[in-house]
Amino acid sequence: MRFKTIFYAATTALVIAVAGSSTASADINLPTGNCGLAATNNCLVFDDFNVYSLAVLNQQAGFGPVSPGDPYDVSTNGNPLRDALVIGTGAGGTALVNTDVIPSGAVDGAYNTPSAAGGGVTNFQTSGSTASNDASTALIPGNTTGTWDIMVSDLVDYLDGGKLGFFFNLNQANSDQTYLSQGQDALGWMAVTLTDTTGSNGSVTFWLDGDACDGPVGDPSHCDPSQSYAQTNANNSILPADPNHDEWAYIHGQVCMSPAGAIVGFGACAQGDQTNTTVNQNLGASNAAFALYSDLLQQALLSGDYDKMSVDFRMAALTNGYEQLLIFAALNIPEPITVMMFGAGLLGLMGFASLRRRKLKLA
């Protein structure tokens, strides 16, 4: 009887351990970053940020294209949206004031991201006339409409022990062609600045751009030059003049993945390719396509040196619009070896219990 009790207790604990890696509406499980293009990799590096493709993670986890209920199905509308901090969104964005989740009110409202539906190509930037911000609250020192701002203490309370994860959805038209390689592609750029408004610690900025794309293809520490895009025309020349942060990060609507889970090409697989699979990253207005995480930013956020966070983000080559940028708490899932070791221990316990029962019968 005692061994049966131990067995069921251990089984219950294993179920809880595995269930702990499932996705919740406001706590999104991401794996520990292991960046590169091989089957063992799960992200790309763009300057200070690891960029996860949720569609690629879903494929690597064995679930195929992202569907409701999958581990990397991150809804960006309906009830989950009310759990998020919304930096930018489409129609109705002005109603998302973020004070629903930050009771102190020390947070800006959402920016209105544009729509290019009906044809044409457009862009977006928080720090310019192409966007309007719902609110620039006086509760944040030095607040302006040029960036999305929040007090660090409120943000840390919101994260509630989780890590700061930015989630971006790509909503490009499937057929419209831009000046990029494929019609579903786009360009992105972001700067996140932490400031000590008392002046003693100054400020520090963390970048997501294409300027650090100087490594060889597949380099785990740098994106390769093909993932960077220069400011080439009047439509996309909206980045700052800083020579270290004046290039776009290239966003692919599709990638080509091998059966083992490696990225073998950016864009759709070649016509007639019977081996590899085209993975759609252009998931539309209702699902996050990418998760953005910086460990350096996370450390600085919790350092106690800064009291305000400001986000400047920009997009170009938009053919449909209403892209969103949100903040959820991001949690690392348990390492597979942890579950494997627990499972091995459970099997050992089961074997021990079986052996003890046999000895009891022989006695």
Let me know if 221 is exposed, middle or buried by CB neighbors in 10 A (0-12, 13-18, 19+).
exposed
Alpha-carbon distance of 260 to 117, in angstroms, equals 37
- AA identity, residue 293: Y
Alpha-carbon distance of 277 to 59, in angstroms, equals 10
Alpha-carbon distance of 171 to 117, in angstroms, equals 11
> What is the per-residue pLDDT for 214?
87
Alpha-carbon distance of 104 to 194, in angstroms, equals 19
Phi, psi (degrees; rounded to nearest 5) at 268: -65, 155
Alpha-carbon distance of 135 to 150, in angstroms, equals 12
> What is the per-residue pLDDT for 42?
93
Q: Which residues contact 303 (CB under 8 A, 6 or more apart)?
A: none
- AA identity, residue 363: A
Of 303, 304, 327, 308, give the one whose Cα is nearest residue 140.
308
**Does residue 87 contact residue 101 with C-beta atoms inside 8 Å?**
no
- Domain-by-domain residue ranges, the chain? 21-333
Instruction: With residue 355 as reference, give the H or E element that holds it.
Output: helix 336-362
Alpha-carbon distance of 155 to 25, in angstroms, equals 17
**Does residue 21 contact residue 32 with C-beta atoms inside 8 Å?**
no
- Find the Cα–Cα–Cα–Cα dihedral 30, 164, 188, 169, rounded to 10°: 60
> What is the per-residue pLDDT for 128?
73
> What is the per-residue pLDDT for 113?
87
Alpha-carbon distance of 342 to 179, in angstroms, equals 52
> What is the per-residue pLDDT for 92?
52
DSSP letter at 93 equals G
Q: Report helix, strand or coil for 257.
A: strand
> What is the per-residue pLDDT for 109?
87
Alpha-carbon distance of 318 to 60, in angstroms, equals 28
Instruction: With residue 309 as reference, give the H or E element that holds it.
Output: strand 308-318
Q: What is the pLDDT along the chain (363 residues), one digit of tens a residue?
A: 333 333 333 333 333 333 333 333 357 889 999 998 889 999 999 999 999 999 999 999 999 999 998 999 998 876 556 688 999 987 654 456 788 889 899 999 888 888 766 667 889 999 876 666 655 678 999 888 889 999 999 999 999 999 999 999 999 988 777 899 888 999 999 999 999 998 899 999 999 999 999 877 767 778 888 899 999 988 899 999 999 999 999 999 999 999 999 999 999 999 999 999 999 999 998 899 999 999 999 999 999 999 999 999 999 999 888 899 999 988 864 444 443 333 444 344 334 334 333 333 333
